[in-house]
Amino acid sequence: MSPECRGRQSRLLVPIVVSLLGLVGAVGCGGDQVARPLTGIVRDDPLRSDGITVTDVTDTGAYPADDDSFELVARPGSLLVVYFGYTQCPDICPTTLTEIRTALRRLGDDATRVDLAMITVDPERDTGEILNAYVGSFTEQFHALRPESDDELRTAEAAFLASSSVTRLPDGTVEVGHSVNSYVVDENGTVLVEWPFGHGVDNTAHDLEVMLDTSAS
């Protein structure tokens, strides 16, 4: 299980030591070792998201939804960054998405080959309008995904070994906990790398450059 942020103000829990998961390594698209290793978490047996769909409520930006679902795979020759979060997250989510936005700006024209898909773990409060405005503040190339059922959310989370919870307390406070990793997926639905919270702009930009270079070769 990935480390989580949790609490009324999303406090970060102690991360699980990566070495226990057996995730150390460096691969490029297709699993071949590259001269510039990735800095994120790379699994010997990569996670897969092909065939996993989530309700798409995108109505602005580069990809207004043509239908009501989106498969969690990248466009051909591109990359898809998948993130589970919620718009009222006070710290973890905006910090992570700001890092991704800044890293994309460093890519120049290559940033057009990277899309962001945010799956809300708090669909009751995250309406389509709210979710579009939030994700659209970080990039124009996004998919705003709002699961229509708990089963839909859990199926998507299971593909990434992610988790979340929403608890409504007697005083009306809503407490949300969710995994804090980001996942980079290729056009085949292979998760090439996972970024833990606090991965950093430099590392994020580096990994995107390496994967884009590899996919273009």
**pLDDT, block means (10 residues), the chain with 217 residues:** 48 36 39 69 97 97 88 97 97 98 97 98 97 97 97 98 96 95 98 97 98 80
Contacts of 79 (CB under 8 A, 6+ apart): 113, 114, 115, 184, 185, 186, 192, 208, 211, 212, 215
What are the structural domains, with CATH classification, of the chain?
Answer: 4-216 (3.40.30.10)
Give the per-residue pLDDT at 66.
65
Classified as helix, coil or strand, 44 is: coil
| Kind of pairing between the strands at 174-179 and 4-7 | antiparallel
Give the per-residue pLDDT at 215.
72
Give the per-residue pLDDT at 29.
41
User: In this structure, what token pair is assigned to residue 155?
Assistant: 């199926």
Contact indicator for 122, 167 with CB cutoff of 8 Å: no
